[in-house]
Amino acid sequence: MNRLLIAMISFFFLYSSAFSASNNERTGAKHKHVKQHNNKEGKPAPRQKKTTETKAAKRSTETVKAGQITEKSGKENKIKKQTSARNYWDVEISTAQRAAIQAKIRSLPQIRGIHITSWVAGNEKLRAALIEKINNSVINAVVIAVKEKDGKVYIPGIEKAEKWGSYEGAIKEPEKMIKDFKKAGLYMMARVVCFHDDTIPRKNPAIAVKNPDGSVWKTRKGSTWVDPYDRGTWDYILDVSERAAKLGFDEIQFDYVRYPTEGNTSMCRFSQTHNKENATRNIAAFLDYAKKRLSPYNVKISADVFGLTTGSDMGIGQDLNLIAEHTDYIYPMMYPSHYYSGEYNLKDPDSQPYKVIDRGLKQALKKTGENYAKVRPYLQDFSLKWKYGPVELRAQIIAARANMIDSWILWNPSVKYSWEALTPQMYRAFIDPSFDSIKR
């Protein structure tokens, strides 16, 4: 019995020693396999037989390896830096500069808005239902279309609109509408489409964008534009804007503050020499003129711009920084569905809402510097190729916050927003833990 017990104990120690050696070899082989990767057949690299080394040799080998690792790490860091430098949206900014911009942003009111069509805003029943939803959300601002790109003007009291047949009574009682929204404590913006107009050029060709033969120029879809250089055009747009300011809107938001892009634009003829420099200067002059004319009404003025203007003026007169200098706020329309494949190195930008907003705002900061405080992005809450809902909406808002931006406007052409993502409870849980619904 004693002999059997001694034999078992001896076997145990022998086996455990062998297992330990085998396990060490496996571990070494595994590490080597990680470094060398699999061979073409997907099999791990063959184990090497364990060799006997002196302690000095081991230390020497370890020193060499450490040096190789250090050298490798240095190369990897260099590669990472080079890769980072190739990201054209990246921005280098000092801690002091960032703090100054952030302080400026925090000094401005936070705007969390939705865009509303004139037909919904002007309908008392639909408006009441919408306000009820807003009251149970984090939304504190509304943008209402008072002049659209088809040229229709939706508020009464503008002589030229009635004379030229562009008035359409979607908002028949604007005073009552404004009273209802103000009672709900909402900041109100009037969206005024400027130079895309499918009504006035047909009634008054003198202020239209023309073809070389003098006829009215049209897009591929047959729509028309008014001449952005023509001061008569400016005055008409500002007649609408002034009426909105008198009614009590807090901000006039100019849209389509640019030149045509769709169709054979090489055929476009304007009342002045048209080139990139003149186009950009003219947009700035228009905004200055608007500010001067609207100054008696104590309203803010702003402009909507293409999302891609965070990186380029696109040759349409929309220099992001220059427009920011001539307005109180600027709204890049950063809908992920509107970016081309490959933009920001993304194969399908529509499916990457966080990355689009994150990279686009980094570009905006790089381009605008201190004027970045005026940036308030339009975010996507509608679906095109990719299905959008609360998750995609939150991704965009979180990306904006990660880039110091807490003010934004949501766009849905049917005014059907992801209200479940906009409750104070959900907003605190997913976006801003410090959100105070009382201050909304």
What's the N-to-C CA distance of the chain in angstroms? 85
Residue type, 141: A
Element (H, E) at 300: strand 300-306
* Contact present, 47 and 31 (Cβ < 8 Å): no
Could you count the other beta carbons within 10 Å of the beta carbon of residue 37? 8
Contact 373, 405 (CB under 8 A): no
Supply the DSSP string of 337-379, one letter for each residue: GGSPTTGGG-S-GGG-HHHHHHHHHHHHHHHHGGGGGGB--EE
Plot region of 248 (φ>0 → left; ψ -120 to 50 → alpha; else → beta): left
Homologous superfamily of domain range 95-430: Glycosidases (3.20.20.80)
From CA 91, how far away is CA 80, in angstroms rounded? 16
Residue by residue, pLDDT tens for the chain (440 residues) are 444 444 444 433 333 433 333 334 333 333 333 333 333 333 333 444 444 444 444 444 443 344 444 444 555 554 444 444 568 888 888 999 999 999 999 999 999 999 999 999 999 999 999 999 999 999 999 999 999 999 999 999 999 999 999 999 999 999 999 999 999 999 999 999 999 999 999 989 999 999 999 999 999 999 999 999 999 999 999 999 999 999 999 999 999 999 999 999 999 999 999 999 999 999 999 999 999 999 999 999 999 999 888 877 667 778 899 999 999 999 999 999 999 999 999 999 999 999 999 999 999 999 999 999 999 999 999 999 999 999 999 999 999 999 999 999 999 999 999 999 999 999 999 999 999 877 77
pTM equals 0.80
Phi, psi of 170 (to 5 degrees): -75, -35
